[in-house]
Amino acid sequence: MQFKKVGVASDHAGQELRQMILDYLRSSGRETIDFGVDVRYDTAVDYPDYAALLAEAVLSGEINGAIAICGTGLGMAITGNKFRGIRACCIWDEYSSRMSRQHNNSNMLCLGSRTLNPYRAIDLVGIWLETSFSGERHQLRLDKIQEIEKRNFQPQ
């Protein structure tokens, strides 16, 4: 199982979908860590705080895959990609979910709770979890991303 321990986090907009995804992951026998947030329906939090928790957990090895949910998934992806070694992909259908693993070796899946039907979102999570990185020419492209990170990011 490539993603044995999966961390899940959301902002206020993604709370319900996060709970559904956690239930799905647990019922499929995966270890999970819930990074929150749990707030009242009228309380807003800032998505970068939750994307950062996930990114740091991936980089420390506490989890080996991350699922981040906000209204669109976009803010989570923007934040996740500020961390060296994180490949955060915002996906919207079966193809983008599969490609984010096969070609991009995504380690942070970003989903929009306001843009996706929740049952579809669960299917897309399943595809992401089960799809392997293809390597070969795609690894060469990831190596180039790593070179860009080296030039632009301070060492962590």
Active site residues: 70, 103
Shortest spacing between CB 107 and ligand RB5, in angstroms = 19
State the Cα–Cα distance between residues 91 and 46, nearest whole angstrom: 21
- Closer residue to ligand RB5 in complex, CB, 66/105: 66
Shortest spacing between CB 5 and ligand RB5, in angstroms = 25
Measured CA distances, 125 to 39, 101, 131 (Å):
24, 11, 10
Residues in the chain: 156
Shortest spacing between CB 73 and ligand RB5, in angstroms = 7
Nearest to 35 by CA among 2, 71, 62, 59: 62
- Closer residue to ligand RB5 in complex, CB, 72/104: 72
Q: How many CB atoms lie within 10 A of CB 18?
A: 26
State the Cα–Cα distance between residues 150 and 145, nearest whole angstrom: 9
State the Cα–Cα distance between residues 141 and 104, nearest whole angstrom: 9
- Closer residue to ligand RB5 in complex, CB, 13/88: 13
Residues at the site binding ligand RB5, with contacts judged by CB under 6 A:
11, 13, 47, 70-72, 74-75
Chain residue whose CB lies nearest ligand RB5: 75
